[in-house]
Chains A and B, each alone.
Chain A
Amino acid sequence: MERFLWLPEAIGKTASEIDGLFNLTFAIALVVFVLVEALLVIFMIRFKRKAPGKEGRYIEGSTKAEVIWTLIPAIILVVLGIYSSGMVYTIQETPSDVYEIKVVGMKWAWEFEYPNGAKSMNDLRIPEGKNVLFKITSKDVIHSFWVPEFRLKQDAVPGRETQFVLYAQDVENLNQKYEKRVICAEYCGNAHSKMLADFTIMPAGEFDTWVAEEKTRKKTDGYSIALANGCTSCHSIDGSKGAGPTWKGLLGSERELANGQKVVVDEAYIKESILDPNAKVAKGVTGVMPAYQLDDETIGYLVKYFEELK
Chain B
Amino acid sequence: MLAAATGDVKRRSFFREWILTVDHKKIGIMYAVTAIVFFFIGGLAALFIRTQLAMPGNMIIPPDMFNQAFTMHGTIMIFLWIIPMLTGAFGNYLVPIMIGAHDMAFPKMNALSYWLFLLGGLVLMSSFVVGAIPEVGWTAYPPYSIQSQGAGLDLWVTSVHILGLSSILAAINFIVTTFNMRAPGMTMNRMPLFVWANLVTSFIQLFGTPALAGAVTTLLMDRHLKTTFYDVAAGGDPMLYQHLFWFYSHPAVYVMIVPAMGIVSEIIPVFARKPIFGYKAIAYSSIMIGLLGFLVWAHHMFVAGMQLSAGIPFMITSLIIAVPTAIKIFNWLASLWGGQINYTTPMLYVTFGFIGLFTVGGLSGIVLGNVPLDLHLHDTYFVVAHFHYVLFGGSMMAIIAGTYFWFPKVTGKMYKESTAKIIFWTYFIGTNLTFFPMHMIGLNGMPRRVFVYTPDLTFLNQISTAGAFLVGLASLAFVIQICVATMKGEKASANPWNANTLEWTNASSPPTEFNFEALPIVTEDPYQYGEKPGKSKGNIA
Contacts and interface: CB of A to CB of B under 8 A. Distances in A.
Contact of A73 (B323, B352, B364, B370): B323
A187 B359 contact: no
Given A40-B351, A242-B63, A59 B356 contact: no
Contact of A180 (B237, B359, B454): B454
Interface in A255-310: 286-288
A218 interface: no
B536 to A, nearest CB: 10
Interface stretch (B165-173, B399-407, B438-446): B438-446
A8 B443 CA distance: 7
A222 interface: no
Interface in A179-238: 180-181, 183-194
Interface string B45-72: 0000000000000010011100100000
A233 B373 CA distance: 30
Interface residues of B, number: 95
A190 B450 CA distance: 9
Interface in B478-536: 529-533
B238 A26 contact: no
B445 A181 contact: yes
Contact of B457 (A4, A59, A144, A158): A4
A236 B358 CA distance: 43
B237 A54 contact: no
Interface in B342-377: 342-343, 351-352, 355-356, 359-360, 363-364, 366-367, 370-373, 375-376
A74 B325 CA distance: 11
Contacts of A160: 232, 237, 239, 305
A7 B367 CA distance: 14
A157 B239 contact: yes
Contacts of B532: 58
A92 B307 contact: yes
Contact of A7 (B311, B372, B443, B457): B443
Contact of B309 (A40, A44, A88): A88
A91 B326 contact: no
Contact of B323 (A60, A70, A158, A186): A70
Contacts of A153: 303, 375-376, 378-379
Interface stretch (A45-53, A123-131, A166-174): A45-53
B205 interface: no
A159 B449 contact: no
Contacts of B67: 187, 189-190
Contact of B333 (A22, A36, A78, A85): A36
Given A40-B351, A85-B315, A153-B303, A55 B341 contact: no
Contacts of A37: 356, 359
Interface in A112-131: none
B80 to A, nearest CB: 21
Contact of A92 (B147, B308, B370, B444): B308
Given A8-B443, A77-B366, A157-B305, A60 B275 contact: yes
A253 interface: no
Contact of A1 (B275, B342, B459, B529): B459
Contacts of A142: 141, 143-144, 238, 304
Contact of B529 (A48, A56, A69): A56
A133 interface: no
Given A18-B375, A48-B341, A287-B63, A189 B144 contact: yes
B447 A29 contact: no
Using C-beta atoms within 8 Å of the partner chain, give the interface range for chain A: 35 or more
B444 A185 contact: no
Contacts of B447: 144, 146, 183-185
A243 B65 CA distance: 10
A140 interface: yes
A11 to B, nearest CB: 12
Nearest to B445: A148
Interface string B394-432: 000000000000000000000000000000000000000
A159 B237 contact: yes
A66 interface: yes
Nearest to A150: B376
A66 B282 CA distance: 10
Nearest to B334: A65
Contacts of A28: 366
B320 interface: yes
B372 A21 contact: yes
Interface of A: 1, 3-8, 17-18, 21-22, 25-26, 28-29, 32-33, 36-37, 39-40, 43-44, 47-50, 54-62, 65-66, 69-70, 73-74, 77-78, 80-81, 84-85, 87-89, 91-92, 140-142, 144, 146, 148, 151-155, 157-160, 162, 164, 180-181, 183-194, 240-243, 286-288
26 contacts: A1-B459, A4-B460, A5-B440, A6-B440, A6-B443, A25-B370, A32-B359, A36-B355, A49-B341, A49-B343, A55-B274, A61-B280, A77-B320, A80-B370, A85-B312, A85-B316, A87-B372, A151-B375, A152-B376, A154-B303, A157-B238, A157-B304, A158-B232, A160-B237, A193-B451, A243-B64
Given A44-B351, A47-B341, 11 more contacts: A25-B367, A59-B334, A65-B330, A73-B323, A74-B320, A84-B372, A152-B375, A159-B237, A187-B141, A190-B67, A193-B452
